[in-house]
Structure 1
């Protein structure tokens, strides 16, 4: 059923995908087929990351894992048609970073510690102080909320970040959630109001120039010196040995976009990552293993976007691309001289996927700047949380997984791109992290919001509060177990990426240094 609803959603966006009954089930591939949903959640490592610290881990109300597995299975079916079948391990996609960083559940604090759930006067909000700018802007936010003392009232013995959280928690409690979020976004602080049951589409086709029966651009350029690679021909079948792989130009950063590029690269596409020489991908400054996992095998180009020559080269690279991935707000793209709709319309067959926190159309219906979003706050805005009901009448949301909207969005974006390519391309795809989170968090029988439906949370309730068909026993010291339908499953830690025997020692899993391939790629793709 979950796979069927995903197919139906894609078909409604002009991306029909035929059923493939021979495809392996993702849960079966992971050895969890037949387990009840709560036990599969426990086995995935995601339950390890969900719930209050020191107390029993939790299961979200919606079939989050099941919907992610449906997307992974569909990507496997599509990638097999592209020429190289890739069956993503959902547990690793969603929990791999947490495994590498040794993260654990922290309740109303995100697993990585940068985001917190705060009670407002009429609901809950998530605020993410992930960057120094966010911490610095809290004083202005607190003042705008009516607390004139601001951070001055915070304990001076606290670390500056804790001072910010202390002052913010007090100021938020007296104001409506929507007001706090609106002001935070004006200050470019990532914030989201806890969403309700509204269920938007996780993928929207903004523009379609697809010609399914033909793919006129570079349908199969012979490359005698290149290794044999499948290429997608007129009707989506592999064009055969010796055809040049599809070119993906990845302009995205951080997690969701790069994960989309990673999956497409695994499926046989050539990925060229393009960064600014002045502002490389911020993820390079994080965990190196995590960055290697997403970017190993991709070529790296660094350009000076501040110069006309750099912007001209960027445009020429984009014009050569079969697939473009970007995670920039539309205004930022315009400053680089790029218009996604224009570039898709200029050549039927090009697929462009835009990955943002709230979607390309958000600024058309909301005044102010494009909102900044990260995986944890976007998940909360979509209603993707678990509920801690251990306090009796005091029910509170807790974070689900580790920045879970990021990897979910990367997976759904990869599915949409693969479906577009197999239809002949020519689509501008809008994939919003909040909307992906809302899609997977919804109850199984909840339909989608109408295309012109509202954009704000429809309900601030806490979801179903009835008894659940499973129990959790144990403790942190001895471990936790989930019991359902006469079966028991230990709550396992998240799974790290599998590099393969000796891969890291041999240097085959390293990401390229920023700009390492600039000259080679530019000479090959943008000759004078």
Structure 2
């Protein structure tokens, strides 16, 4: 699985030998990571169920160490510290179906579970429109929890997304066989008995959708070849029977009861400025799915994802398998013998995933330049400063006013001379600044890393680390019901995978655009092969918990998240504001 990821970016089989960091028991390693302590109900035992995903993460960091040793300084990352370091700094605790950071919930729906994040005032204000009400009670979570029972998980998530609220349905593929909701089991049975998708006409599929469903949201009558399906579109990330995003639930309130504000839910998020929350409102536990630029994606600006990729070749690279976190395209000629030592990394991202990637590349020998807007600094600065300092230790910094001609020119010069560009912006925001990767000529060997919640093909869907993990099926299971896994776990997993992807691209000579999403990353780890031994018992030991592995005859105390080493910026470059 991991070897396929690497081969999609570099031709040489650098993982011909098995990676060496896989422990004899991933469940015991999960217990020692600090992330298991964040997974489960607050008044119960932590859950061992995500141990297989942690085993895959151990292999991923081992592969990162092997590849960085070939092209720079070896990076032996501590996966437990990367996953749970922020929780250690903020002293977070597991919340079960409430996120460790407190901003998100898992809600039971008519057919399963839906994760919704209300971390910004805009999200809270959108709750009445999501539910088709004029107003809600003082506690929006109480209203959402009650109303969710009348919705399907996919309909509720899609309705929230239309208003720019991060939300995701837990895919049916994520459920253990014995805990799949009855409605989902029936849908799977009907799907298995149905004729092949290729035999269903477009007209027939349209008849199955409500009359007001958007044709743009309709799935194709025939599926594309498996090799052409991106990781984001994999069944592990979204149930095959998911209805159109525009389709309201069968049990939705009567149209007469829907307020004028609720009508905005029928329009794409970009059509309503009120539905587009500002990046300035992002909390510490939010992901950088919102772009770091001041300019909001405007109407009429072409999406660079729809244009041929500029450069010497627009041909796609080796197509990764359906469980790979990234998709790649060729944007420039490769450079033989490229190394990370001294390469310039321009980091335009914010919050967690992108900065963590830059942090790991800096440890491998790259020169990292952190670029922020003078009007919208990285939202992580508003939280505990130790978290920001940890991720940016040793980095240079430049603050630029993206609204001025001089600032935009400085930004374009930085991007043009960079060996690696990291961004987490909507494609249209980049296009407005003349930085869309598909509309510019790239220098040979340049690597462009694009981090999003759901992939460049779905730029208007927003995601934070916890709900993105649910979208990919990465949750813990307790008593047959899901709980959040770790602390915004899709964020650090995406940062680690992004660093591996960039290193693989550099080893292969570069010249590639890497499209990496948090949902696809979570889906990849959720699909990790199950442990081949077990079961593992979780036992109370006073105020602590212990995981026992009868197969190996060993036990491991469940450790609390650790506090990472701290540090600050290397130096500050004077900002450009005119």
CA contact (8 A) 2:332 2:443 kept: no
Matched, 1:166 2:151: no
Q: Alpha-carbon deviation of 1:45?
A: 1.2
Work out the CA distance in 2 between the residues paired with 1:428 and 1:127. Answer: 31
In the other structure, the counterpart of 1:386 is: 476
In the other structure, the counterpart of 2:482 is: 397
Q: Alpha-carbon deviation of 1:512?
A: 6.5
Work out the CA distance in 2 between the residues paired with 1:201 and 1:15. Answer: 19
Work out the CA distance in 2 between the residues paired with 1:258 and 1:385. Answer: 24
CA contact (8 A) 1:62 1:441 kept: no
Work out the CA distance in 2 between the residues paired with 1:203 and 1:442. Answer: 11
Work out the CA distance in 2 between the residues paired with 1:137 and 1:310. Answer: 34
Q: Alpha-carbon deviation of 1:21?
A: 4.8
Q: Alpha-carbon deviation of 1:16?
A: 4.6
Matched, 1:190 2:175: no
- Structure 2 matches for 1:63-212, cutoff 5 A? 63-143=52-132, 148=133, 150-151=135-136, 154=137, 156=138, 163-197=139-173, 198-199=235-236, 200-209=322-331, 211-212=333-334
Q: Alpha-carbon deviation of 1:20?
A: 6.9
Matched, 1:373 2:463: yes
CA contact (8 A) 2:332 2:442 kept: no
CA contact (8 A) 2:348 2:372 kept: yes
Work out the CA distance in 2 between the residues paired with 1:443 and 1:323. Answer: 29
In the other structure, the counterpart of 2:573 is: 517
CA contact (8 A) 1:207 1:341 kept: no
- Structure 2 matches for 1:15-54, cutoff 5 A? 16-19=12-15, 21=17, 25-26=20-21, 33-34=23-24, 36-54=25-43
Matched, 1:235 2:220: no
- Select the residue among 516, 522, 530 that pairs with 1:437: 522
Q: Helix, strand or coil for the counterpart of 2:102? A: coil
Q: Helix, strand or coil for the counterpart of 1:63? A: helix
Work out the CA distance in 2 between the residues paired with 1:38 and 1:388. Answer: 15
In the other structure, the counterpart of 1:227 is: none
Matched, 1:470 2:459: no
Structure 1 pair 188/209, CA: closer, same or farther in 2 (3 Å)?
closer
- Select the residue among 437, 446, 456 that pairs with 1:350: 446
Misfit runs of 4+, over 6 Å: none
Matched, 1:266 2:363: yes
Structure 1 pair 115/237, CA: closer, same or farther in 2 (3 Å)?
closer
Q: Alpha-carbon deviation of 1:150?
A: 3.3
CA contact (8 A) 2:325 2:524 kept: no
Q: Alpha-carbon deviation of 1:61?
A: 4.8
Q: Alpha-carbon deviation of 1:71?
A: 1.2
TM-score by length of 2: 0.70
Work out the CA distance in 2 between the residues paired with 1:290 and 1:26. Answer: 27
Work out the CA distance in 2 between the residues paired with 1:203 and 1:248. Answer: 21
Work out the CA distance in 2 between the residues paired with 1:131 and 1:186. Answer: 16
Q: Helix, strand or coil for the counterpart of 1:346? A: coil
In the other structure, the counterpart of 1:414 is: 499
Work out the CA distance in 2 between the residues paired with 1:8 and 1:210. Answer: 22
Q: Alpha-carbon deviation of 1:118?
A: 0.5
- Structure 2 matches for 1:306-385, cutoff 5 A? 306-343=403-440, 345-363=441-459, 370-385=460-475
Matched, 1:491 2:558: yes
CA contact (8 A) 2:323 2:527 kept: no
Q: Which runs of 5+ in 1 are unaligned?
A: 28-32, 157-162, 216-233, 239-243, 364-369, 390-394, 446-463, 500-508, 523-528
Structure 1 pair 15/381, CA: closer, same or farther in 2 (3 Å)?
farther
Q: Helix, strand or coil for the counterpart of 1:274? A: strand
Work out the CA distance in 2 between the residues paired with 1:302 and 1:75. Answer: 30
Q: Alpha-carbon deviation of 1:179?
A: 1.5
